[in-house]
Amino acid sequence: MAADGEGKRIDPISQFEITPMAEWKVGSYDLSFTNSSLMMLIAVGLILLWLFLSTGRRSLVPGRWQSIVELSYEFIGNMIRSTAGSDGLRFFPFVFSLFMFILFANMLGMIPFFFTTTSHIVVTFTLAMMVMCLVIGYGVYRNGWGFLRLFWPSGIPLAIVWFVAILEVISFMSRPISLSVRLWANMLAGHILLKLFAGFAVMMVGAFGLFPGVFGALIPFAMTFALVPLEFLVAFVQAYVFALLTCVYLSDALHPGHH
């Protein structure tokens, strides 16, 4: 049986443990500054630093970093236009900020000994609820009672329209759950797999000695090496999917009758 220290190092769940760095309680509320809070601040700080350094000295002929920022702007702009139309560009700052935060948080989690904030459902669900609150708030503000057309599809026979309306309501209410669980589950599962295969390699060396263990560790080490670029791809794709679905939901707030 492995010692407690070794078992904790190999335990694939220990990497998700939230630990307070500065404890602060107000009554029964725990407002401590944690490692998750730190990583979110680092993600925001890196985004601001990247944008400032890349666009601080704008030129007619953009350099490498300015080109990347301009491509990022165009990428998000095209995403919004293709899903929500030109009217959706009013939400560009929100969608761009959301995409960049998730992307940087995911990428930071790929660095060894760093914390992955998006591997916690409370973080992803909070982001999803921000999206849904914006959709409902702006949908009611723009359309008034016409926003309810989102739950009352046109062209449905009167005999089943109430049943379809109930299904539409349930589908709408499940959006923040599916939006948050998709991001959380992908990041959680990917990091667990990486930790498991890396832990297998270490355990093989520890169990059979240096030379026999190295041969036994080749397969888990190869799997770890192969999963790393895949996880970087997943980190980008999940940020993209979250932003894309946000645009789709915002389109419902802008055009509820086109559902």
| pLDDT tens digits along 40-86 | 999 999 999 998 888 767 666 667 778 888 899 999 999 999 999 89
**pLDDT band at residue 105 under the 50/70/90 scheme:** very high
Phi, psi of 155 (to 5 degrees): 80, 10
End-to-end CA distance of the chain: 58
How many whole angstroms separate alpha carbon 80 and alpha carbon 227? Answer: 31
The whole-model pTM stands at: 0.86
Task: Report whether pLDDT(210) > 70.
Answer: no
Instruction: Calculate mean pLDDT across residues 120-137.
Output: 95
Q: What pLDDT shows up at residue 234?
A: 94
Q: What pLDDT shows up at residue 207?
A: 54
CB atoms within 10 A of CB 225: 12
Instruction: Calculate mean pLDDT across residues 103-108.
Output: 95
Burial (0-12, 13-18, 19+ Cβ within 10 Å), 163: exposed
Task: Report whether pLDDT(96) > 90.
Answer: yes
Chain mean pLDDT for the chain: 84
Higher pLDDT, 14 or 74: 74
Stated length of the chain:
259
**What are the domain boundaries of the chain?**
4-258
